Structure 1
Amino acid sequence: MNPYPQMLSPLDLGHVVLKNRVLMGSMHTGLEETGDWDRVAEFYAARARGGVGLMVTGGMAPNREGGVFPGAAGLFSDGDIANHRRVTERVHDAGGRIAMQILHAGRYAYGPECVSASAIKSPISPFAPRELDEDGIEKQISDIVTAAVRAREAGYDGVEVMGSEGYFLNQFLVRHVNRRTDRWGGSYENRMRLPVEVVRRVREAVGRDFIVIYRISLIDLVPEGSTWDEVVQLAKAIEGAGASILNTGIGWHEARVPTIATSVPRAAFTWLTARLRPEVGIPVIASNRINTPELAETILAGGQADMVSMARPFLADADFVAKAEAGRADEIAPCIACNQACLDHTFAGKISSCLVNPRAGHETELVVAPAANPKAIAVVGAGPAGLAAAITAAGRGHRVTLFERSAEIGGQLTLAREVPGKEEFRGLVRWFATMIERSGVELRLGQEAAPDALAEYDEVILATGVNARDPGIATDPGAKVLGYAEVLRGAPVGSRVAIVGAGGIGFDVAEYLTQAGESATLNPAEWMREWGVGDPAASPGGLSEPAPAAPARAVTLLQRKAEKLGRKLGKTTGWIHRAQLAARGVKMLGGVNYERIAPEGLHISFGVAREKPTLIEADTVVLCAGQTSNRTLAEALTAKGRSYHIIGGADVAGELDAKRAIDQGTRLALGL
């Protein structure tokens, strides 16, 4: 029986039939820029073997000025074609299909040669673009068409023309950027001339038997963005110009509304795809925060789209579709939309990977092979590091026993899943439990691993985690002080709270304590109200006035460092947390000294001179002052002369750093 009849049904595009309705959406991984084309080929081939119907590459620049950064990959020469052909041949040998995304960054290009409709600098780049003249526009069209022709020569099954997320073509569409008065500006017919002409000429150049996807922005989420009538008008014109499929994009990169972070509700924008679908006669793809086969099936069965795009879920699990088809959906490693190893890496100039699956982007380096000499391995601690090590080692044929002193697995993940907006961590813990069971690991819950009990094992892996750090603040009798773990496990907290420490945990606790009622992540309508997401049929760009719910408590967040609070939060998500706490009225103070905790609250001063003594009135003070590594067992084993491996928080205490922990556990297990 087919468990997902809509998702796994074929999609006939006329000249070609896709085997299912799952698209692996475009992601910039940084792999092409390494020049290691075997590595690039294996990344895509692994996903082809995993059964996805069609893949789209990361954005390939049509010319130097259009690259997202200097040196960005593209198809600029015959040598580039040969390199890309290695990718397409490997994908086709694996039974897959792949399209190349042509991405012209316009004013988002991080370089002085950037160009756009008008010379208006974007807020996410330090470079003001050069306004293109008539000849300059013709050059951009010609270069995009040439890139499409080269893609066909390289063996791609199609191209995706990137027209959303605020990139070059999107910039011509809206008055927010396009201030021209010639035939490329002014009326909407003029402003949409460029994307329509690009698609028309691409189709003319590549022929009818080639997939041409156009990525269309359904809701810009910026001032002076497109109206819904304009979106529909463009969609129909793009269809008339020869596009095979419309893939949907949501929001510009400069928008102050999150669109793909974990706090965004699942499938939050498919209502727009559903509205567009009846307006055109070609397939329409839904995108953004779709991460399970059940959700994909619901979207397709409900007529909201003809196909679903899932990008990061294929970082988390290359075999997503194959597992779904085999009735093993509970074994699909879940994308938790954390951005930590994918987008954060991209914007830091690193290779994109995945917190849940460190092998993503490293398939040729981190190879899972049967152990030549299977061993008896003890893993102590069932947090993310220990779980990753145990599952990976067992998958290679080792005999693994996993000790966990508490009554459940997950470690610090069990705290993270309680934070509003981090509900996806619940699925991650469930997946770990499933994989521990399926991999044959012997799990011993509620059991402290004594040194003598570990003597029988060939290898011992210590993943004993962290202890909360005591900041050593003088505390008067009667003051109510709680640790962050106590709070996240449900300890009673007063109506006025002071939080000591403004790292990731401090921000999480502040969100937890200010949340009133159900998390907005689980209530799309409430989430849209909080962030000011409106209807593009009512307001250009789909913006409305944000209306956040009243906070449950009055919270003050403090730190010793005299710097912006939250500065070290995730590169692509930190602004979301800061904005959310600001909307909830959380007071943020830096450069403080913690003088004393008293029943009336927290006494502080400022600066080296300990000036301006101040009382932060609070019923409860919550300590989020960092962690120290739990090495008690390591010290006992060392005293006995026993060797061991140490990973995760036990190795380096950090801000609930599951990314490093899982990566470390995986790499260690692959080397045993």
Structure 2
Amino acid sequence: MTGPGGLPMPGLARMAEVTRAISEAARRGPDEAVGRWLIHEPWSIVGQRNTVKAKNRIVMPAIPTGLASTQGDATDAMNEWYRARSVGGVGLILVEPAYVVRDAGERDSSTVSGEFSPRLVIDAKSDQKALRSLADAIRSSGAVPGISLALPSERDIAAAAFSDFKLWITAVAVASSACDSAGFEVIELVFSHDGLVHRSLRRATNRRTDRFGRGEAGRFRLARELARSAVTAAMSPVIVKFAIDQRRWGGLNAEAGTRLALALQDDGVAALEIVGGDRWDDASLQLSCGVGEGPVIARTSGAIHQGVRIPIIASGRLLSPTGAEETLRDTNATAVAMGRALIADPSWVAKARAGVEEEIVPCIGCLGCHSAMDGGTIGCVVNGDEVHVTGLHVQQASHPLSIAVLGAGLPGLEFARVASSRGHDVTVIPGTMPLGGVTGLRSSVPGNAEFGRAFLYFGDRLREFGSGLGETIPDDCDLVVDARPLPGLKLSWAVGRSVLTASSVLGRDLHQMYGIGRRVAICGPGSLAGEVALFLAGWGRRPTVVVPGTSDNPFPDAHPMHALRLVERLIGYKCDLVTDATPVEWNETLDRKHRLTVRRGDGTTAVLGPFQTAVEATGWSEPQVTGPTETVVDGTRTIVLGDSQSFETVRKLVHWANQLARTV
């Protein structure tokens, strides 16, 4: 978008123009066509008593936000989080999932459990006023308010008493009625993600011999009775979310999923959301970065759709308008669920409809959104806005400054983006690191290419706002923001000319690989060691990864899905993985047949090798996470921000960078 004469528009003027276009697109009614784009067309969910019409085919799926009160009720912060997605143009928003509980004791325990705590809890004692405010916040900008209900996970389905199932069925009816009364127009039941019902559906986990087991009809019984209970209790249409996890032994395949879908259709279910298995322990599911865009089980969703009359919502790894459109055209799905894309940018739909796709804040597949920040809330490592409403609430600087940003990591780039949009003259100085900082180095690892989406996004924004890259701090600099990572760590065992660090290896090209040798020991406490190994394997080396983690959990610092995908890639590249081993000594020899002595978890030692080189892959020291610090360096005001290899830390730093840039 340009100004008069084709010149770039000033930062805030351009943002205002984009915001107007986005707002107009978000306000368009469901009957206003947008070319031939299916994603912008309306669709209907026909229930037993009511029919709901969504203005487009984009669904915000149920994702826990951690914004509930400690009592498990909706809060103002939760209202604003979901309102932002409604303002951004989403057609149907499914809240949380909320826990269904049977009594006050379960309510108390449920609010403090789960990946993001506290969690929304629904029962007869739920705060109806708070729930209605949440539904109204979503409805206020044209989205259909829906809510997702889940049963707390019980790992041993066989141990559940018959009477427990009856209590759950009653509890779902009570919760559905409560949500209905609060103004939610769609009720979704979650039968996936390794919850109680998901485990009851799978042959591998349901070994019961009563009527809730003993063959497929028995395994389907709990799901069907819960669905019938909700359909009977609620005036709103009921959606069921279940998993096709055919890559796992004993999981639902497409044929069994179709039979379940037909049964649920007969029970009065109005639509289905199909997801891909259990993200915790199925490494074959394409949910992590580097595997390309598209729904995890798009073809399976399409196959099931052929067998049922009710709408199907396809889910998984959908990021771009083109990808969402292709899913609707190629799979016969009726709508698409876009979770992480709408976490990264709540205005995704409006930007796509306004024709400014380049403005969409990208999801980079890092799963940092699944690492809860202080207070348990969800967020994005690329989007630092407090409530994720990109482009809003930014004020022109009253006294524009000359600012130098040292380091081009995500925190530094976010600061530069917001500060330059306010009229400051910003120069980004990458130094010895690539664009993207630590994340930029990691993007060179096979499987991490999606990280580069962030650098393209920030590069485009900085060019539009007139900021550029430099090599030195300008003479007239008023403020320096130090967003560089702290120095890399090198432990006591890592002594010798043949020992390198992860930061000195990542990003090298072929000519810089000479002298490293073919056999390399990569030693570190977590996933960075695996990533360095993949990088070297991509250049023809034969690395051995040495980590203290167990064989069941070699990379405990990574999200479970990333850890499993990392192990899968290491196997694919034929990298050796040595677990339960901590390096204690590196022994160099003149013939370059070096040996590594490690200590096992049981206290014994072992000698590994021979190797030509070792890489100490502990990584960079972690910056303090209490907030930016200010000092004076060489007479210039300097604010120290930092960078990190931990996406959880990067999220905090990006958030602080955003807030800091709004105030300087």
TM-score, structure 1 as length reference: 0.80
CA 1:81–1:604 in 2, change beyond 3 Å: closer, same or farther? same
1:592 aligns with 2:619: no
Report the Cα distance in structure 2 between the residues aligned to 1:561 and 1:150, rounded to whole angstroms.
46
Q: Which residue in the other structure is 1:463 paired with?
A: 483
Q: 1:89 pairs with 133, 136, 141, which one?
A: 136
Residue 605 and residue 184 in structure 1: after superposition, are their counterparts in 2 closer, same or farther (change >3 A)? closer
Aligned to 1:235, the other structure's residue is in SS state helix
Is 2:25 aligned against 1:12? no
Verify: 1:228 aligned to 2:254, yes or no.
Answer: yes
State the one-letter code of the partner of 2:545. Answer: L
- 1:448 counterpart = 2:495: no
Q: Residues 59-70 of structure 1: matches in 2 within 5 Å?
A: 59-64=97-102, 70=110
1:388 is displaced (CA, Å) by: 0.6
Judged with a 3 Å threshold, the aligned counterparts in structure 2 of structure 1 residues 349 and 378 are, in CA distance, closer, same or farther, namely: closer
Which residue identity lines up with residue 142 of structure 2 in the other structure? G
Contact 1:482–1:620 (8 Å) recurs in 2 = no
1:419 aligns with 2:450: no
SS of the aligned residue for 1:290 comes to: coil
Paired positions, count:
598
Is the contact made by 1:495 and 1:553 (CA closer than 8 Å) also made in structure 2?
yes
Residue 255, structure 1, aligned to residue 274, structure 2 = no
Q: Deviations over 1:627-647 (max 9, x none)?
A: 3699xxx9xx94533221111
1:621 equivalenced with 2:621 (yes/no):
no
CA RMSD, Structure 1 to Structure 2 (Å): 3.6
Structure 1 window deviating more from structure 2 (479-488 vs 56-65): it is 479-488
Check the 8 A contact 1:102/1:162 in 2, yes or no.
yes
Distance 1:49 1:397, change over 3 A: farther
SS in 2 for 1:505: helix
Native 8 Å contact 1:27 1:57 kept in 2: yes
2:100 aligns to what SS in structure 1?
Answer: coil
Is the contact between residue 100 and residue 152 of structure 2 (CA under 8 Å) also seen in structure 1? no
Look up the equivalent residue of 2:558 and give its one-letter code: L
2:594–2:611 Cα contact (<8 Å) kept: yes
CA contact (8 A) 2:434 2:441 kept: no
Q: 1:311 corresponds to which residue?
A: 339
- 2:52 touches 2:185 (CA, 8 Å); kept in 1? no
Q: Deviation at 1:389?
A: 0.5
Work out the CA distance in 1 between the residues paired with 2:518 and 2:67: 50
Structure 2 letter corresponding to 1:183: R
Secondary structure at 2:122 match in 1: coil
Distance 1:395 1:560 in 2: 46
Partner of 1:520: none
User: Are residues 1:510 and 2:533 paired?
Assistant: yes
Counterparts of residues 111-510 of structure 1 (less than 5 Å): 117-119=157-159, 131-133=160-162, 135-207=163-235, 210-219=236-245, 221-257=247-283, 259=285, 260-267=287-294, 268-340=296-368, 342-345=369-372, 350-359=376-385, 368-371=393-396, 373-380=398-405, 381-405=407-431, 409-438=435-464, 440-445=465-470, 447-449=471-473, 453-457=474-478, 459-469=479-489, 473-475=494-496, 484-490=503-509, 491-492=512-513, 494-510=517-533
Distance in 1 (CA, whole Å) between partners of 2:446 and 2:565 is 13
Local SS of the residue matching 2:110? coil
Contact 1:166-1:252 within 8 A present in 2 as well: yes
User: Is this contact kept in 2: 1:389–1:665, CA < 8 A?
Assistant: yes
The 2-side partners of 1:613 and 1:216 are apart by 47
Q: 1 CA distance for matches of 2:279 and 2:199?
A: 12
Is the counterpart of residue 99 in structure 1 residue 127 in structure 2?
no
What is the CA distance between 1:36 and its match in structure 2?
A: 6.4
- 1:370 partner SS: coil
SS of equivalent to 2:584: strand
User: CA 1:554–1:304 in structure 2 vs 1: closer, same or farther (change >3 Å)?
Assistant: farther
The reply on whether 1:641 has 2:635 as its aligned counterpart is: yes
Identity of aligned residues (%): 23
Distance 1:61-1:565 versus aligned 2 partners, 3 A rule: closer
Determine which of 566, 574, 585 is the counterpart of 2:555.
Answer: 566
Query: In the aligned structure 2, how far is the partner of 1:64 from the partner of 1:360?
Result: 35
Q: Cα offset for 1:220? A: 5.2
Q: How far apart are the structure 1 equivalents of 2:411 and 2:66?
A: 26
Superposed displacement of residue 222, structure 1? 3.7
**Counterparts of 1:313 and 1:562, CA distance in 2:** 33
Provide structure 2 residue ranges, at least 5 long, that are not aligned to the other structure: 1-32, 112-118
**Residues 62 and 144 in structure 1, CA contact (< 8 A), matched pair in contact too:** yes
**1:666 corresponds to:** 658
Q: Residue by residue, what CA displacement relative to the aligned partner does 1:514-561 show, whole Å, maximum 9, x if unpaired? A: 359xxxxxxxxxxxxxxxxxxxxxxxxxxxxxxxxxxx5432234699
Alpha-carbon distance between aligned partners in 2 of 1:654 and 1:21, rounded to the nearest angstrom: 35
Q: Aligned letter for 1:7? A: I
Instruction: Look up the SS of the partner of 1:418 in the other structure.
Output: coil
Q: CA deviation at 1:334?
A: 1.2
Which of 48, 55, 64 aligns to 1:28? It is 64
Q: How far is the alpha carbon of 1:151 from its aligned partner? A: 0.7
Please tell me the residue identity of whatever aligns with 2:400.
K
What does the per-residue CA deviation read over 1:354-389, in whole Å, with 9 as the maximum and x for residues that have no partner?
21224366879x984415634314132322121110
The structure-2 alpha-carbon separation of the partners of 1:638 and 1:27, relative to structure 1 and needing over 3 Å to count, comes to same
- Asked whether 1:557 is paired with 2:578, we answer no
What secondary structure does 1:98 align onto?
A: strand
Q: CA deviation at 1:431?
A: 1.0
Residues 69/423 of structure 1: CA separation in 2 closer, same or farther (3 Å cut): farther
Determine helix, strand or coil for the equivalent of 2:96: coil
Give 1:538's aligned residue: none
Deviates more, 1:62-71 or 1:163-172: 62-71
TM-score by length of 2: 0.81
| Letter in structure 2 aligned against 1:132 | A
> Alignment partner of 1:557: what SS?
strand
Q: Which moved more, 1:39-48 or 1:222-231?
A: 222-231
The answer as to whether partners of 1:220 and 1:252 remain within 8 angstroms in 2 is no
Distance 1:573 1:46 in 2: 29
Task: Flag the 1:233–1:393 CA change in 2: closer, same or farther, 3 A.
Answer: same
Query: Which amino acid is the alignment partner of residue 245 of structure 1?
Result: A
Give the Cα separation in 1 of the matches to 2:377 and 2:102: 21
Deviation at 1:161, TM superposition (A): 0.8
Whole-Å separation in 2 of the counterparts to 1:343 and 1:258: 19
Pick from 83, 92, 109 the counterpart of residue 54 of structure 1: 92
Structure 2 letter corresponding to 1:213? I
SS at match of 1:302: helix
Q: Is the 8 A contact 2:124 2:175 kept in 1?
A: no
Assess, with a 3 A threshold, how the Cα gap between structure 1 residues 60 and 621 changes in structure 2: closer, same or farther.
same
Residue number in structure 2 paired with 1:548: none
Counterpart code for 1:427: R
- Deviation track 1:190-231 (CA, whole Å, cap 9, x = no partner) reads 321222222223222223xx2321112222544322343321
Whole-angstrom distance in 2 between the partners of 1:69 and 1:221:
33
